[in-house]
Amino acid sequence: MKERIQVDGVWYVRETSTPSIVEINPRDVTNALSCTWESDNWCFEAIVILREGAKDLTDTYPDPSITITDKRPVNRDDWKEDSSDNPNWFIGVLEGNPESMPEAEEMLDKQGIAEFRGFISYLIEKGWIVRK
């Protein structure tokens, strides 16, 4: 009778279900490292993916993906995110390349471009972006 309980004259059976857990195959998991910098108006997050079987945290695939978040709108729900994984565009923005700048100027204001260039420079020093 321990498996039943009566409430207001109605008998209920104790439920002893175990939470379901999906088994994850480790080969289906992507391991990555991220690097984030933010100011009052902008947030930049770079992500590099570790190679399968990486022996240390420097064994990554080249070319990070960078997410740019425009935090200028007061309401957080209005923040806009853009992302790119094109190292040529990153270097182009850093160097002021006329082919890269229209897209950069569409996403970022003047201060944002200066801050993004600083972030790209940091990623170059870190070895996450390689100048060709």
pLDDT tens digits along 27-36: 899 999 999 9
- Would you say residue 1 has pLDDT above 60? no
pLDDT for 121 equals: 97
Other beta carbons within 10 angstroms of residue 90's beta carbon come to: 26
Among candidate residues 112, 63, 69, the one with its CA nearest the CA of residue 89: 63
- Strand order of the β-sheet with 42-49 is 32-38, 42-49, 65-70, 80-84
pLDDT for 3 equals: 78
pLDDT for 19 equals: 83
pLDDT for 11 equals: 87
- Would you say residue 130 has pLDDT above 80? yes
Domain boundaries, given as residue ranges, for the chain: 30-126
